[in-house]
Amino acid sequence: MKATRWRIWLGVSILLLVSLACGVSSQSSDPAMEQTVQALALESTRQAMALQATLAVMQAGQAPASPTQAVNPPPAAPTEAPPPTEAPAPTEAPPPTEAAPTEDTSSVQATAAADEMYQELKRMVERYYLRSAEGVYYSFPDLEKNWYDHKNYEIDALNAVDHDLTNFVMKATVTWKIPGVIEKIERTGCGFSYGYTDDDHLHTTFLGVDGVVHTLRERGSENIEMKGGKYNGGLSRISDSAEIMLVVERQNMIFFVNEVEAVRFRDPYIDSGKVGLATLTGSPTGIQCKFSNVAVWELK
């Protein structure tokens, strides 16, 4: 409906402008008037073209923009504030570095000594002194003993072994000193006691300062000396040292001095019992026996 009205209005306007131009041109031949007529004709043509363009826009379904109204852009969406930045989590200090545990020096030394003794016993197995080298190792602190009673001998029990032993190997380095005259050299020396059940039942094997190995057996009222042996390494009676080793396995006894076999025998009365270190003197001025590197290997 609006487009039809616009067409009518446009046609009327054009007719009026043409009529006006024709009337003016017919009534006057003045050059100034003719210029005015031409200007009106041009203006009418321009307006006609503008109206035609407007109609074309309306036919396309678009309303012409108002010449006096500025087209404002749509309001911008409100800018949202950025989310709060989270503070970084506090950095935890790394835990303190623990120092590597250090093994006790004495334990390291004991382990090395046990391995050394085990290797030695394996060589003895190869030489048929032992049936097996498997067992448990015990080590003991050094002992320095001064003994003056020439009628009895002293036994220092190795209490670290809290049970009776049946098959075992004992070893130690013994050093002796005698300050005076020796009256009973056959009862003067340093060694081991074993099979101890009480003061009247035990065996004692020791190295005399003259190089002779003695074994005493006590069974109640029976006190006898067993088979002896001799080490010919040339020991000093006054002051000297030697490495001694005792092997007891299945009631067989072997005694070594400086890795040399001095004596062996079998005794059915060798019983299970405690073990210890023995000091004997036949001198009224006494004897000093020092035992070092003391070890026991319980055979399995």
Per-residue pLDDT of 96-107, as tens digits, reads 444 444 455 656
Does the pLDDT value for residue 17 go beyond 80? Answer: no
Residue 254: other Cβ atoms inside 10 A = 19
Give the pair of three-digit tokens for residue 244.
């001694």
Query: Once rounded to an integer, what is the mean pLDDT over residues 42-71?
Result: 54
For the chain, strand residue ranges (E) read 135-140, 143-147, 154-157, 168-177, 189-198, 201-208, 212-219, 222-225, 229-230, 239-249, 252-257, 260-266, 274-280, 287-299
Residue 38 identity: Q
Exposed, middle or buried: residue 262 (CB in 10 Å: 0-12, 13-18, 19+)?
A: buried
Q: Pick 31 or 119 by higher pLDDT.
A: 119
Q: Pick 129 or 35 by higher pLDDT.
A: 129
pLDDT of residue 207: 98
pLDDT of residue 226: 96
Looking at the DSSP bridge assignments, the partners of residue 253 are 248, 265
Give the pair of three-digit tokens for residue 192.
């081991």
Q: Pick 14 or 227 by higher pLDDT.
A: 227
Q: Pick 3 or 110 by higher pLDDT.
A: 110
Does the pLDDT value for residue 172 go beyond 50? Answer: yes
Residue whose C-alpha is closest to residue 283's, from 180, 176, 208, 155: 180
pLDDT of residue 160: 85
Average pLDDT taken over every residue of the chain = 80
pTM reported for the whole predicted model: 0.65
pLDDT of residue 20: 43
Q: What is the pLDDT of residues 259-271, one digit of tens each?
A: 999 999 999 999 9
Give the pair of three-digit tokens for residue 180.
């005076």
Q: Pick 96 or 144 by higher pLDDT.
A: 144
